[in-house]
Amino acid sequence: MTSSVREKTAAAAPIPFDNSYARLPQHFHAAAVPTPVSEPWLIKFNRPLAIELGLDADALEREGAAIFSGNAIPAGAEPLGMAYAGHQFGQFVPLLGDGRAILIGEVIDIHGRRRDIQLKGAGKTPYSRRGDGRAALGPVLREYIVSEAMFALGIPATRALAAVVTGEPVYRERVLPGGVITRVAASHIRVGTFQFLAARGDTEGLKVLSDHVIARHYPGIETQERPYLTLLQAVIERQASLIARWLCAGFIHGVMNTDNCAISGETIDFGPCAFLDAYDPAKVFSSIDRGGRYAYGRQPAIGQWNMARLAETLLPLLDPEPSEAVNLANDAIGNYGALFQTHWLTGMKAKIGLHTEEDGDLDLVQGLLSAMHRNETDFTLTFRKLCDAAEGSAKDGPLRDLFAGTADIDAWLAAWRERTGREPLSDAQTAAVMRAVNPAIIPRNHRIEQAIRAAEDDGDFSLFEALNDALARPYEDRPGFAAYAAPPAPSEEVLKTFCGT
């Protein structure tokens, strides 16, 4: 630890750090001390998460502006930037690294799980290249809202512990207020972390990283006959499951570069992410995704592409015989499609109230999606209104109203009723089970945009607060929150999202 870090420890509240990444070989990371900001102000502190992490929530809330801006470094922190490479829109960059994020350390949470605590936007690191190491307030608020919404939806994702405004401007296309988000992750190890070592020809380092990942995210694998192959298979399985969850929720990550693909299976770095309003598999929101590489419906295929890049890095560990290593890797990658399809179909079937198996189930799911696409119906509302329809055809009205051509949906509803008639649950039970997987409220783009606008333009965080409240219980119809379930009016529609780097 540098002396400047030590000097700053006095004012800080205790976080019981238990750092492991800092113990890994030196070239895996670089010391990076947050750059102080002039006038930090705590916008939001996630008290329940702090308690789950085993932190002193009272002390952190009191000193949050200093700690979560990086102005005060808590005792025991070993701030560092992690090294990683990555394929960005298909182009390989051998060294990216944390250019605007600083890992301050790890804690063991109250469930015994190791979690990273990272300040994103806290100033330059040795990996900043030409960047300023800063984040604008807008993307900080967006990440806060979506991280916590993903948690409430039950989709694995990094969490948000705090958000601050720095009191300093950041210079993008225009001058914007600066912010810092404190991000919590199972780890920040990415496919790109493996690629960084592979690109250096560092097989020993790959083994060290793999062993670290196994101990941390996939315990038990170390005793397998081929632990590194089993690791690859396990990461593939989690990625297939994760992307199926995204599709079932209408989520578009936006920038699925290999450096934004976490080995733990959490959703990470969803800068220009968005949720679908109208269903369209080709939908893209991200301003930088001009070719639609990361469109909603392309995400499963990109997930497999990313896993193939991971597999390449692991080849030297899979088998001493190169051709055998390639065969093993190909088999593992080849399984991805079936794994994804199983997770996706199970998830989509649950959305329409099916839990037993019959031959025509896939067609039934696809029939609904096709009707939705033809009629441009709102993804979230369609499934939520279908929960009402599950209570009986007298309640079909709100669902049918979403479809311009009701013939489409009427034919589908008839087939669906015939099929659900062979499920064991009562109508009321089916509706309740469906409501637990089909959210009423998702972080709609126009709501996020409105919250950001009010915060940036007027320093008004009330919309941000209200939106977080609305998203905290997405599967309930709560009085007072009905407006958050509504799709945007044409004038409110958000056509593009930005990652704000």
Least distance to ligand AMP, CB of residue 177, Å? 14
Q: Name the one range near Mg ion by CB under 5 A: 167-175, 246-254, 262-270, 348-356.
A: 262-270
| Of residues 225-264, those binding ligand AMP (CB under 6 A) | 255, 259-260
User: How many residues make contact with ligand AMP (CB under 6 A)?
Assistant: 17
Q: Does 269 bind ligand AMP (CB under 6 A)?
A: yes
Which amino acid is residue 21, in one-letter code?
A: Y
If the CB atoms of residues 260 and 438 are measured against Mg ion, the closer one turns out to be 260
Report 132-161 residues binding ligand AMP (CB under 6 A).
132-134
98 sits near Mg ion (criterion: CB under 5 A): no
Least separation in angstroms between residue 310's CB and Mg ion is 16
Helices (H) and strands (E) in the chain, counts: 18, 12
Kindly compute the dihedral angle of the four CA atoms of residues 417, 422, 425, 429, in this order, to the nearest 10 degrees.
Answer: -10
Rounded to a whole number, what is the largest CA-CA distance in the chain?
72
CA distance 445 to 276: 8
Round to whole Å and give the CA distance between 299 and 283. 11
**Judged by CB under 6 A, which stretch of 125-133, 308-316, 449-457, 486-494 contacts ligand AMP?**
125-133
- From Mg ion, ligand AMP, none, which one binds at residue 237 (CB under 5 to 8 Å depending on kind)? none
**Residue of the chain from 25, 131, 322, 397 that contacts ligand AMP (CB under 6 A):** 131
Q: In sequence order, what are the beta bridge partners of 41?
A: 165
From candidates 19, 20, 128, 346, binder to ligand AMP by CB under 6 A:
128
Site string for ligand AMP, 77-106 (x = CB under 6 A): -------------------xxxxx------
Per-residue contact flags (x/-) with Mg ion for residues 222 to 261, judged by CB under 5 A: --------------------------------------x-
CB 450 within 8 A of CB 457: no
Confirm or reject binding of residue 143 to Mg ion (CB under 5 A). no
390: exposed, middle or buried (C-beta count within 10 Å: 0-12, 13-18, 19+)? buried
Q: In terms of DSSP H, where are the helices of 34-167?
A: 47-52, 57-62, 64-69, 137-153
In degrees rounded to 5, what are phi and psi of residue 204? -60, -45
217 binds, among ligand AMP, Mg ion, none (CB under 5 to 8 A by kind): none
Q: Tell me how far CA of residue 291 lies from CA of 243, 286, 355, 495, in angstroms.
A: 20, 10, 37, 15
Instruction: Give the nearest distance from C-beta 302 to ligand AMP in angstroms.
Output: 15
- CA separation for the pair 165, 172 (Å, rounded): 16
Nearest to 472 by CA among 438, 442, 431: 442
Out of 64, 271, 303, 443, the only residue in the binding site for ligand AMP (CB under 6 A) is 271
Q: How far apart are CA 419 and CA 368, in angstroms?
A: 13
Note the residue count of the chain. Answer: 501
What, of ligand AMP, Mg ion, none, does residue 133 touch, CB below 5 to 8 Å by kind?
ligand AMP
Euclidean distance between CA atoms 404 and 416, whole angstroms: 19
Q: How far is the CB of 254 from ligand AMP (least distance, A)?
A: 10
Interaction residues for Mg ion, span 269-298 (CB under 5 A): 269
Q: How far is the CB of 416 from ligand AMP (least distance, A)?
A: 41
Q: Give the integer Cα–Cα distance in Å for 365 and 354.
A: 10
Q: CB of residue 340 vs ligand AMP: minimum separation in angstroms?
A: 23
Which listed residue (116, 259, 396, 408) is catalytic? 259
* Opening angle at CA 345, ends 339 and 346, nearest 5: 90
DSSP string, 395-463: G-HHHHTT-SSHHHHHHHHHHHHHHHTTSSS-HHHHHHHHHTTS-S----HHHHHHHHHHHHHH---HH
Has 259 been annotated as catalytic? yes
- Beta carbon nearer to Mg ion, 118 or 468: 118
Report, in Å, the least distance between residue 77 CB and Mg ion. 22
Q: Which does 131 bind (CB under 5 to 8 A by kind): ligand AMP, Mg ion, none?
A: ligand AMP
Torsion (CA) 266, 235, 198, 211 in degrees, nearest 10: 100
List the single partner that 81 binds among Mg ion, ligand AMP, none, CB under 5 to 8 Å by kind. none
Task: Give the shortest CB-349-to-ligand AMP separation in angstroms.
Answer: 34
Name which of ligand AMP, Mg ion, none residue 123 binds, using a CB cut-off of 5 to 8 Å depending on partner kind. none
**Which residues contact Mg ion by CB under 5 A?**
260, 269
**Which residues contact ligand AMP by CB under 6 A?**
96-100, 128, 131-134, 255, 259-260, 269, 271, 499, 501
Give me the active site residues, please.
Answer: 259
